[in-house]
Structure 1
Amino acid sequence: MSDLLSKAPQPTATRVEGFLGDRELQWGKHKKIKVGKVFRNFHCKPCDDQRTFESGDELYCLGLDKHAVSIDATLRCTACQSSVAAWFLIASKDEISGFAPEVRIERYTENLRDRAERIGKDPGQFADLIKRAQVAYDAELGAGATVYLRWILESITYHVANIAGIPTTGKNNGRVPFRDLLERVNEERRIIPQRFSSNGYKLFGELSEIIHGNSTEEEALKKFEPCLQLVLGIVEEVNRDNVFAKAIDELGWGSANIDEIAGDAS
């Protein structure tokens, strides 16, 4: 179980040793469990460096029903002892109190208490927007998270246009349609990864559909991760990573030869 929690939010189901003593944990009842320490890596603000944060030997478990529990953990920086909090919703198709249940993480959230920051590929000046998008997603605000992704896409397009001297206004000082601007910018300064270069504006349209309420929150949350990967790809100008082919496939954009696309870019 400790390995599963340490890898959150990985959704893959994993078989673990029984941790409830083969007895159902009733709704609303708490229980201390020993499943090994949880380890998470963060950028520790007091240390101003990447550090491993670890939990204690015991975690707190709250019963929800026969198939789900929540687990709370506090983790401390192994260097300066600054602490953060983490929460996991754990579920199982079978009874979770079994001898060796197959469990998955249905939801993971954390409160870093301004003591730490997530470690990732946040792209420089857009790091704050990525963080805000992730926070909104963790709070299950699909449309709200998507707003930040479209903001990043628009911002970097206009930013590159200004650097390249590409006009962003047309007649009567009106804005150039974003589709035209994106195509022009990409022609002169490739900002869209090769693997989905023909779908650059389609990504913008996908984000806009969600923001304008043409998708349910459930759909918006489902599309967040692949959209995030594609937006990060534009920001980072990364065009040799299979994650983009997978993201295109997850969005259902009709890419029939994902493996071939991935192979061409390797």
Structure 2
Amino acid sequence: MTIELRPVDRACPSCGADAPRDLGLGRSPWTIGACSPCGFAYLTAAASYSDLSDYYSWDKAILIEAKRRKSAQPLVQWLDQKTRWRLHLFPRPETRTFLEALVPGGKVVDIGCGSGKQGLALPDDYTPFGVEISRTLAEQAHAAFAERGGACQHAPSAGGLGKFEADTFDGAMLNSYLEYEAEPLPVLRALHRVLKPTGVAVVKVPNFASWNAAVMKRNWCGIRLPDHVNYFTPDSLREMAESAGFTVEFPKLTNLPTNDNFWAFLRPAAQA
């Protein structure tokens, strides 16, 4: 069954201006623009939350995108599949392992948790919670998290976080999530409210400043239309996170320009 997506026009999710410059990286009818005032790169229209909930969550979109890439770049995709072993030649950074090093235990919220795989992989010292827009995946995560004393909210992320008390969580994971979120700044502000003053959020997003993004342009692996709606660089993520009340730190020797992803550690800024 083909689903007719209902795109919702967007202003810049970082500064709110509505003056994008077409970067020429999109694919009809989707346009990736750069905000004229602040430079943030984003999809100028996105699928509605209701479509994401029932029809076009990432677990469905990833299958659609894989089929499209196989058709558009058969040789490249064949080589990629045949050489997946290269990804295991060296230890790879992971959001979960960064969190374990920074947060000794306690309650952790996984935003965009999917079926709960990341949260369930945490040791028993952690109680996993989650927020997930996909109805099916949220139900799976809730059942799994409940067995460890946690829960998962099925809701858009800002609203789902709003159902938790302030200063609830010792840590948070945003693992390959913010690039999908149509309203990332309200989500970060909602996260700031529920994260303890000593808490840490670990963020992983595709690196729009990577060398591969510059070379591959619209064929870059980080461009996924229409589900990747934000295109972060370390500078643009820092700017957005700081406006939500966080300080931002980047792990050393990880965020290289050769890496298609980057990580950031967000901590609530000290109140003046």
> What is the TM-score when the length of structure 1 is the normalising length?
0.26
More helix by share: 1
Instruction: Give the structure with higher Rg (CA).
Output: 1
> What is the TM-score when the length of structure 2 is the normalising length?
0.26
Higher relative contact order (CA 8 A, sep 6+): 2
